[in-house]
């Protein structure tokens, strides 16, 4: 019986990538724990601090073009429909991303399982809200990149050899790659280093301006002009690909090297195919 259950689970997970649905099989649980956030070797990542985080679920891959197209067709708008961000542009169609075919949104041919790109912070945020999720905080992102509760001392997420876990300057040909085609880190997450940057929920600020050792579940500054992006991308050199590397861009901006992941605190609601239906 276990053999057949395993086969079905593998088939189910594979179908997810094809049909664009978001379901429980797309997430890994990141257990609660503490970690040292930051890196004293870099000014914008200092000072380091010990942070406490509760448990959460994070998509093992960056959200794909196929998944975002499925969302757009269900959502019925290319701008945020309601709330404080109503009217904000969510994305820009792109030959590496999503395109409109006779009124229906679809992943560009051949890019179905590639990271959703040209998505603004508002577009990433609204996708997550639609599925009762949210973007990861910067602290959650770094904690997960380092392996979660079982922290590693790797230079990159999952290894100290960049080519094992990342698409970057040396091996990408300056092209985005399908998700999950490099090795996962110890938490079971793919592409936490390289391929595309990933939006976080936080406003960008200096480490010294917010948070301190002993804080629990910090969410960054209360306001700002740009949002944090993490993980590096396919055209960075290995030096700039270290797993504490942080950058920022305006939440209105969209690029072909920036995508996102989704966090959920609870997998029981808000998914197209809930876990109970497996």
Q: Is 228 exposed, middle or buried (0-12, 13-18, 19+ CB in 10 A)?
A: buried
- For 237-269, what is each residue's pLDDT tens digit? 999 999 999 999 999 999 999 999 999 999 987
Angle, in degrees to the nearest 10, between helices 65-75 and 121-130: 70
CA distances from residue 117 to 86, 96, 225, 258 in whole angstroms, order as listed: 21, 7, 21, 6
| DSSP 8-state class, residue 59 | E
| pLDDT classification of 270: cutoffs 50, 70, 90 | confident
- Which residues in 24-135 belong to E strands, given as ranges? 27-30, 33-37, 49-53, 56-59, 98-101, 104-107
Q: Nearest 10 degrees: CA dihedral of 141, 202, 246, 89?
A: 110
Rounded to 10°, the helix 2-19/65-75 angle is 70
Instruction: Indicate the range of 2-16, 34-48, 136-150, 260-274 predicted with least confidence.
Output: 2-16
Q: How confident is the model at residue 211 (pLDDT cuts 50, 70, 90)?
A: confident
Distance between CA atoms of 245 and 219, rounded to whole angstroms? 18
Query: Picking from 8-17, 36-45, 48-57, which range would have the lowest pLDDT averaged per residue?
Result: 8-17
Supply the pLDDT for residue 19.
61
**Residues 102, 227 contacting (CB under 8 angstroms):** no
pLDDT in tens, 113-147: 999 999 999 999 999 999 999 999 999 999 999 99
- State how many domains the chain has: 1
Q: Which two tokens stand for residue 242?
A: 């270290």
276: pLDDT strictly greater than 60: no
Give 10's Cβ-side CA count (13 Å radius). 6
* Rounded average pLDDT over 16-34: 84
Least confident of 42-56, 97-111, 207-221: 207-221
Q: Give pLDDT, residue 21.
A: 86
Q: What is the pTM of this model?
A: 0.91
Do residues 180 and 190 lie in contact, with contact meaning Cβ atoms separated by under 8 Å?
yes
- In residues, how long is the chain? 278
CA-based nearest residue to 261, from 153, 155, 159, 180: 180
Residue written as token pair 């070797």: 41
CA 111 to chain centre: 17
Query: With the C-alpha atoms ordered 124, 126, 129, 134, is the resulting torsion angle positive or negative?
Result: positive
Q: What is the mean pLDDT of residues 19-29?
A: 90
Q: Are 200 and 238 contacting, i.e. CB atoms less than 8 angstroms apart? A: no
Can you read off the two tokens belonging to residue 140? 């959650």
Q: What value does the mean pLDDT of the chain take?
A: 90
**21-47: average pLDDT:** 94
For 73, the domain range is 2-277
pLDDT for 6 equals 33
Q: How confident is the model at residue 5 (pLDDT cuts 50, 70, 90)?
A: very low
pLDDT at 13: 36
Two tokens at 27?
Answer: 């997430």
Residue 157 is classified by DSSP as: T
CATH number where 39 lies: 3.90.1580.10
Please tell me the predicted confidence (pLDDT) of residue 18.
Answer: 42
Check residue 207 and give its pLDDT.
82
CA–CA dist 239, 221 (Å, integer): 27
State how far the alpha carbon of 194 is from the alpha carbons of 136, 176, 207, 237, 257, in Å: 17, 9, 23, 10, 10
pLDDT tens digit sequence for 145-157: 999 999 999 999 9
pLDDT digit string (tens) for 166-204? 999 999 999 999 999 999 999 999 999 999 999 999 999
């Amino acid at each position: 019986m276990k053999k057949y259950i395993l086969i079905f689970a593998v088939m189910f997970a594979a179908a997810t990538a094809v049909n664009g649905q978001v379901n429980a099989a797309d997430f890994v649980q990141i257990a609660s724990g503490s970690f040292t956030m930051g890196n004293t070797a870099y000014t914008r990542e200092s000072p380091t601090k010990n942070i406490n985080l509760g448990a959460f679920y994070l998509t093992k891959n960056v959200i794909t073009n196929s998944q975002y197209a499925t969302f757009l067709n269900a959502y019925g708008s290319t701008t945020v429909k309601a709330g404080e961000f109503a009217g904000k542009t969510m994305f820009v169609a792109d030959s590496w991303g999503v395109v409109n075919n006779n009124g229906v949104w679809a992943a560009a041919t051949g890019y179905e399982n590639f990271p959703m790109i040209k998505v603004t912070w508002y577009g990433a945020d609204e996708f997550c809200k639609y599925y009762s999720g949210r973007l990861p905080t910067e602290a959650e992102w770094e904690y997960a990149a380092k392996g979660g509760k079982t922290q590693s001392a790797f230079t990159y997420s999952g290894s100290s050899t960049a080519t094992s876990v990342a698409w970057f300057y040396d091996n990408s040909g300056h092209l985005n790659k399908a998700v999950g085609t490099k090795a996962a880190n110890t938490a079971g997450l793919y592409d936490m280093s390289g391929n595309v940057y990933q939006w976080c929920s936080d406003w960008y600020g200096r480490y010294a301006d917010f948070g301190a050792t002993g804080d629990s579940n910090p969410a960054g500054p209360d306001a700002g002009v740009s949002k944090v992006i993490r993980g590096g991308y396919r055209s960075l050199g290995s030096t700039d690909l270290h797993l504490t590397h942080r950058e920022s861009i305006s939440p209105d901006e969209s690029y072909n090297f920036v995508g996102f992941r989704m966090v959920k605190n609870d997998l029981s609601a808000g998914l197209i195919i809930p876990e109970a239906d497996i």
